[in-house]
Copies of this chain bind each other. A is one copy, B any other.
Amino acid sequence: MAHCSRIDKSTAWQALLDCKPEDITSVLNHKRLIDRTIAAGGGLSYCYAAMDADDATLGLLGTAAAELDLAGRYLALAGGSMANPGEQRMALHHLSRGQLAGSVHAGSKDLGAFYTSELTRFSEFAKAIRSGSIRGSTGKAFTRIVQIGIGGSDLGPRALYLALEQWARERGLLKLSASFISNVDPDDANGVLAGIDPEATLFILVSKSGTTQETLANEALVRARLASQAGIDARRHLVAVTSETSPLAKNTAYLDSFYIDDYIGGRYSSTSAVGGLALSLALGPEAFTELLAGAHEADRLALEPDMRKNAAMTDAMLGLYERSVLGRPATAILPYSQALSRFPAHLQQLDMESNGKRVDMHGEPLRYPSGPIVFGEPGTNGQHSFYQLLHQGTDIIPLQFIGFRKNQTRFDPEFQGSSARTKLNANLAAQIVAFARGQSNQNPNKLFPGQRPSSLLVADELNPRSLGALLAHYENKVMFQGFAWNINSFDQEGVQLGKLLAARVLQQGGPQDEALEAYGKFLGIL
């Protein structure tokens, strides 16, 4: 089979453009559900029974996936290919949870060994903090961490911590609670600081470059607040996660430093020290190791070349069909789990920052829509909010549900004949069917057109292993879509212009720019 570099160069492309959405109002049954479920690692399954692609469409997508050599390009990426040519960088986040394609070196440095040695270092550090053998400068044991970071240094670690907080508390593993400071708005840091005991708090400063404006400003604010409290030695309350070449590295202003490198992008860094230090401190290094194992298992399953046996690849190609063929503008992420309350915000970054691009690897403008808008809130909350538009709005928005068979916490008394868990999952089952099937009604206002496609990621329990797999599933899905569109999913040039202009507003003598001056004055800063 001849390979191609972009979906519209596949022999299947023209036929795909002619595909019509499958009529899904009456196809849902037990057999289809089993036929369309793929193991995704860590006990997670991906089920696309309620997607509106028939077998012919799936066949075309599978042909395109093979011609695009998605599995081969993934293996090459994991083995150290130049996946991010714009920044001349490899993309090695998979390596932070295990080898997929042999060892990878940068010069003489074995990067897998580097990630493993940092994992060992921060695991040991976490044990010492959790046991109380390292304490705050006034002698109190640490009971709280505050992570200071923004973007990838915030959203992923925050989402993962919240996903496991109750799980760990219920099992007696939650030794330190975590809070997060991200926004340069000082009300963020002041608000977090108002609720904590600084003597028992360890601050984790996360910035790969060591130059992130927001993060340094927040560090300065925190240090000023610590300095105002007699007896606290800030150097014993801050640790850094940064690159070895940054100003924060090996700096006596910090209790310790843990290292990352340029080959793991911010939004892919949750399984490196960026997420690992906080999670190991809060939940214990064992839980974090389990999370890595779940992610690695998902990564290995995603190597399968046959699309229909590969959960992340099927999810990716179906998403591409919805977006680039059917022209649907968005995807909603709907976890039926309160613990995943911030997981959609992480995926919003992961997907929109990776694939919200308008030119391909060769700088050619794309002739089809690329990455979708990603948004979502937990169910059943969303049912009482934006689901109205999903059911009866004028656009069709493909949905991704996430569900679990068990609770994280044990207390779940029956009420009106069923447990809350049963009610939760009854709602999830009902929504999938309602969106697909719709309902006729003589009153047009009460008519549901149906034909709203959805897929479902499901596991027995939301725990470190299934969460790791869930995280990796989405990373791999986004990666495969980037391959298919032939865009660089690992740079983010779109954030540069704003930074540049903000610096101009702040420069001595003013911005020397009419528009910036007008808005700066209007906002009271010039």
| Complex contacts, A345 vs chain B, CB 8 Å | 377, 385
Copy total for this chain: 2
Which 5 residue pairs across A and B have the least CB separation, nearest first?
A: A356-B389, A151-B384, A405-B524, A430-B501, A329-B329
- Tell me whether A498 and B349 are in contact in the complex, defined as CB-CB below 8 angstroms, given that A28-B514, A393-B356 are known contacts: no
Contact in complex: A154, B349 (CB < 8 Å)? no
Q: Which of B374, B395, B433 contacts A501 (CB 8 A)?
A: B433
Q: Which of B37, B405, B505 contacts A426 (CB 8 A)?
A: B505
**Minimum Cβ distance to chain B for residue A479 (Å):** 16
Q: Which of B214, B413, B508 contacts A220 (CB 8 A)?
A: B413
How would residues 177 to 217 of chain A score, 1 for a CB under 8 Å from any chain B CB and 0 otherwise?
Answer: 00000111111111100100000000000000000011011
Q: CB of A428 within 8 A of chain B?
A: yes
- Tell me whether A394 and B184 are in contact in the complex, defined as CB-CB below 8 angstroms, given that A430-B505, A437-B515 are known contacts: no
Q: CB of A56 within 8 A of chain B?
A: no
Distance, CA A225 to CA B413, complexed state (A): 10
Distance, CA A514 to CA B150, complexed state (A): 47
From 388 to 420 in chain A, residues with beta carbon under 8 angstroms from any chain B beta carbon are 388-395, 397, 403, 405-409, 411-413, 415-420
Other A-B contacts than A445-B493, A458-B523, 9 sampled, CB-CB below 8 A, are: A214-B380, A349-B386, A353-B385, A356-B393, A373-B375, A384-B495, A422-B506, A423-B506, A434-B501
Interface residues of A: mostly helix, strand, loop or mixed?
helix
Q: CB of A125 within 8 A of chain B?
A: no
Q: CB of A76 within 8 A of chain B?
A: no
Distance, CA A358 to CA B499, complexed state (A): 41
| Complex contacts, A47 vs chain B, CB 8 Å | 522
- Tell me whether A29 and B185 are in contact in the complex, defined as CB-CB below 8 angstroms, given that A377-B345, A386-B348, A494-B387 are known contacts: no
Q: CB of A15 within 8 A of chain B?
A: no
- Tell me whether A392 and B357 are in contact in the complex, defined as CB-CB below 8 angstroms, given that A29-B514, A151-B384 are known contacts: yes
Contact in complex: A194, B169 (CB < 8 Å)? yes
Q: CB of A86 within 8 A of chain B?
A: yes
Contact in complex: B381, A154 (CB < 8 Å)? yes
Contact in complex: A183, B29 (CB < 8 Å)? no
Distance, CA A171 to CA B375, complexed state (A): 35
How would residues 488 to 510 of chain A score, 1 for a CB under 8 Å from any chain B CB and 0 otherwise?
Answer: 10011111111111101110100
Contact in complex: A187, B407 (CB < 8 Å)? yes
How would residues 346 to 390 of chain A score, 1 for a CB under 8 Å from any chain B CB and 0 otherwise?
Answer: 001100110111110001111011110111011111011111111
| Complex contacts, A505 vs chain B, CB 8 Å | 426, 429-430
Q: CB of A33 within 8 A of chain B?
A: yes
Contact in complex: A381, B523 (CB < 8 Å)? no
Stretch from A59-67, A94-102, A332-340 that touches the partner: A332-340
Q: CB of A424 within 8 A of chain B?
A: yes
Contact in complex: B425, A388 (CB < 8 Å)? no
**Minimum Cβ distance to chain B for residue A258 (Å):** 21
Q: Which residue of B lies closest to A353 (CB)?
A: B388
Q: Which of B409, B491, B497 contacts A448 (CB 8 A)?
A: B497
**Minimum Cβ distance to chain B for residue A118 (Å):** 23
Q: CB of A521 within 8 A of chain B?
A: yes
Contact in complex: A394, B369 (CB < 8 Å)? yes
| Complex contacts, A375 vs chain B, CB 8 Å | 348, 373, 375
From 440 to 468 in chain A, residues with beta carbon under 8 angstroms from any chain B beta carbon are 443-449, 456, 458, 460
Distance, CA A458 to CA B522, complexed state (A): 9
| Complex contacts, A430 vs chain B, CB 8 Å | 498-502, 504-505, 516
Contact in complex: A186, B506 (CB < 8 Å)? no
Interface centre among A86, A384, A434, A495 (most CB of B within 10 A): A384
- Tell me whether A515 and B384 are in contact in the complex, defined as CB-CB below 8 angstroms, given that A166-B194, A497-B391 are known contacts: no
- Tell me whether A494 and B166 are in contact in the complex, defined as CB-CB below 8 angstroms, given that A190-B409, A338-B187 are known contacts: no
Q: Which residue of B lies closest to A224 (CB)?
A: B413
